Amino acid sequence: MRGKRRVGERTPDVTIKPPTDSKSMLQWLKANLFNTWYNALLTLLAVVFLYIVFKGILSWAFTEANWNVIPANLQIFLVGAYPREEIWRVWIVIYTLALMLGLSAGIWGGLALRLAIVIGSVGGGLGIILAFFPIALSNRFGLLGGVAFLVVAFFLIRGKIGLRPWVLGGWLLSFPWTMIWLHGFAGLPTVFTSSWGGLLLTLILAAVGIVVSFPLGVLLALGRRSTLPVIKWVSTAYIETVRGVPLVTILFMAQIMVPIFLPDFRIDKILRAMLGITLFSAAYMAENVRGGLQSIPTGQYEAAHAVGLNYPLTMLLVVLPQALRSVIPAIVGQFISLFKDTSLVTVIGLLDLLGIAKTVIANPDWLGLQAEVYLFAAIVYFVFSYSMSYISLRIEDALGV
């Protein structure tokens, strides 16, 4: 406020301009960096720190580092040992997912549209890099094609709300669809899971972990809140045991115990890892879902009883639809941490993104390039993980939970 004014004094007839937000550069600096003596000191220290770190990193990245290792191995970073002549199947999966995303964005708009924009722009950016940098890749315009699919689907279907059930059904089918294409069917040569690898494997492990553990987690959560003591005890014991133990233990256990417990089945390493990840993820999923269940007021249960619904119908028609909506952000959060946690399959010798990074480092052609390879892997993980947490923030906003 400018000047002092006593209560009851008449307002002079001059219009005071509202204070402007725009400040001069110097004012901004003073307000944000040098407002007190210790802040000035902190600023100076931070500048010195930044200078040292950036100078070190930049001079290393542009003079010492040998980045050739990345483009030369890009293919195995992305899909591992997936056969070269079958990679088009991976592209089919990517195109399908892009199509589905475009359709959803067109039909629902809002959140789906924003998701599509985030994924489309990340994909488009990467696509441009792939298309115009001298990288030996079988399909250099593939990602841009995927983005084109997304955009075309969006404009084709925009506003046709009647198609919603079909698109939902499409999403349900997309998971088995992905698995069938990657694994092979009918006349296609089978690509066994043992040759899946790289980023592809990382994403599939995380997706399987979330998708398969979802029904299990819902059942466990219902079990934990059940009034039947036996079911409650068993569910609680399972959830608490799994949550108290590191994922590495469970992965190792799946590797070693599954052949002992189920000697009649031939389950390969990756399937065993998927089993371990799913059983692990189910316990965390159950806790997330339980949070949602607890947020449903008792009146909802009572109302459902009053209209004569039995337990399964109460849950299916009344409680779960509300509970699951409120736990979507938590499930996205779990997907992000699972995406990072899948890197642990490296420890049991699978070749996910991190496992591939380790093999590339061990390759005698590329000795001594640990920092470059790990940094590349870190950037890939970061891009995925960061954009997913951005998406999760948007979802939280959109759902208002």
Give the interface with other proteins as residue ranges (CB under 8 A). Answer: 32-33, 35, 39, 42-43, 46-47, 49-50, 227-231, 234, 241, 244-249, 252-253, 256-257, 259-264, 340-341, 343-344, 346-347, 354, 357-358, 361, 370-371, 374-375, 377-378, 381-382, 385-386, 389
- Cβ distance to other proteins smaller for residue 49 or 155: 49
CA distance 284 to 226: 18
CA distance 344 to 197: 14
- Cβ distance to other proteins smaller for residue 138 or 241: 241
Q: How far is the CB of 330 from other proteins (least distance, A)?
A: 13
358-to-82, 149, 193, 276 alpha-carbon distances in Å:
17, 35, 20, 22
Q: How far is the CB of 125 from other proteins (least distance, A)?
A: 17
Q: How far is the CB of 74 from other proteins (least distance, A)?
A: 18
CA distance 126 to 78: 13
- Cβ distance to other proteins smaller for residue 14 or 230: 230
Report yes or no: 194 and 335 within 8 Å, Cβ to Cβ: no
Q: How far is the CB of 232 from other proteins (least distance, A)?
A: 10
- Cβ distance to other proteins smaller for residue 10 or 266: 266
Q: How far is the CB of 228 from other proteins (least distance, A)?
A: 5
Q: How far is the CB of 371 from other proteins (least distance, A)?
A: 4
- Cβ distance to other proteins smaller for residue 242 or 328: 242
- Cβ distance to other proteins smaller for residue 103 or 380: 380
Q: How far is the CB of 2 from other proteins (least distance, A)?
A: 22
- Cβ distance to other proteins smaller for residue 121 or 389: 389
Q: How far is the CB of 262 from other proteins (least distance, A)?
A: 6
Closest CA to 353 of 29, 119, 6, 80: 80
- Cβ distance to other proteins smaller for residue 98 or 352: 352
